[in-house]
Amino acid sequence: MVKVFDPYVAVDVDEIQIARTQTRQKTLSPVWNEEMSTKVQSGENINFTVFHDAAIPPDEFVANCKVPFEDIVGEKTSDFWVMLASIVHAVKWFWFCGDCSPGALYVWVYVDYTGQPYEP
């Protein structure tokens, strides 16, 4: 039996959460199309972590991936598929996005790199 779930994605830079998508209810093919922005002074990685929004906390970890800034700095925009790793609920949840491979996220990133220190 394939079980649907209520996924959301937490986005963090070097373990500091900067954003979270809305939860998509009872789906195997979540689509978010959400825009998030933040200023990063010195970061090494953007991390995407998928959770199941549990009725009783804590939320269940599903999968995650890491994108090094060095892979995207120098490009004004980048769009790419990232494969999720550590899929702990591979049997419990058959999670995928539309036409992509199971366990992948499509990400579009806009980088406004100034090379200057961030001043709030």
Please name each of the domains of the chain with its CATH number: 7-110 (2.60.40.150)
Beta strands in the chain, from DSSP E residues, in sequence order: 7-13, 16-20, 45-52, 60-68, 77-83, 104-110
Task: State mean pLDDT over 47-54.
Answer: 91
| pLDDT value at residue 90 | 39
| pLDDT value at residue 64 | 87
Using the predicted structure, report yes or no on whether residue 51 has a pLDDT greater than 60. Answer: yes
| pLDDT value at residue 116 | 58
| DSSP helix/strand/coil, 69 | helix
- Cβ neighbors of 107 (< 8 A, separation 6 or more) are 48, 67, 78, 79, 80, 81, 82
